[in-house]
Amino acid sequence: MKLLDISTEQRAELSSRSGLAIDAKGQEVLQGLNAEESRFFAACMQQTPSKPDARERYAELMVRHEAARLRLASVDDESTGEEDGPPRLAHKF
C-alpha cells in the first residue's frame, strides 16, 4: 500500500473523521479524490499555495473531499443496527 505523504497527526485526524480511503490500486487517498488530487491536496495542507490557480484548485478539492466524507458519515448515521444487512446506497459516489 502506498501511503500519502502526510504527518502522523494529520493521518490520525483524517482517519478519525473518515477522511481516508484506499483506491483500487492500493493507494491511500482522501475520500472523494483520486491519487493525484490527494497528493496535491496533501501538499497544500503542508503549505498553502501561493498561485491563485492552485489555491482555487485546492478549494475545489476541499469541497469535493468534505462532501464525500459527509456523504459517508450520513450513511453511517442512518444505520441503527436493527436493519437486515448493511445500509443501501441510492447511488454510487
What mean pLDDT do residues 21-37 have? 96
Are the beta carbons of 65 and 29 closer than 8 angstroms?
Answer: no
Q: Is residue 70 part of a domain?
A: yes
Q: Is residue 52 part of a domain?
A: yes
Answer positive or negative: Cα dihedral of 52, 8, 18, 31: positive
Q: Is residue 16 part of a domain?
A: yes
Q: Is residue 82 part of a domain?
A: no
Q: Is residue 83 part of a domain?
A: no
Are the beta carbons of 32 and 43 closer than 8 angstroms?
Answer: no
Q: Is residue 39 part of a domain?
A: yes
* Radius of gyration (C-alpha) of the chain in whole angstroms: 15
Q: Rounded mean pLDDT of the chain?
A: 87
What mean pLDDT do residues 14-43 have? 95
Q: pLDDT tens, 42-59?
A: 999 999 999 999 999 999
- The predicted pLDDT at position 72 comes to 84
The total number of structural domains in the chain stands at 1
Are the beta carbons of 34 and 41 closer than 8 angstroms?
Answer: no
Range of the domain at 48: 8-77
Least-confidence region, from 36-45, 46-55, 72-81: 72-81
Q: Is residue 17 part of a domain?
A: yes
In this prediction the pTM is 0.77
- The predicted pLDDT at position 74 comes to 78
Three-class SS of residue 21?
Answer: strand
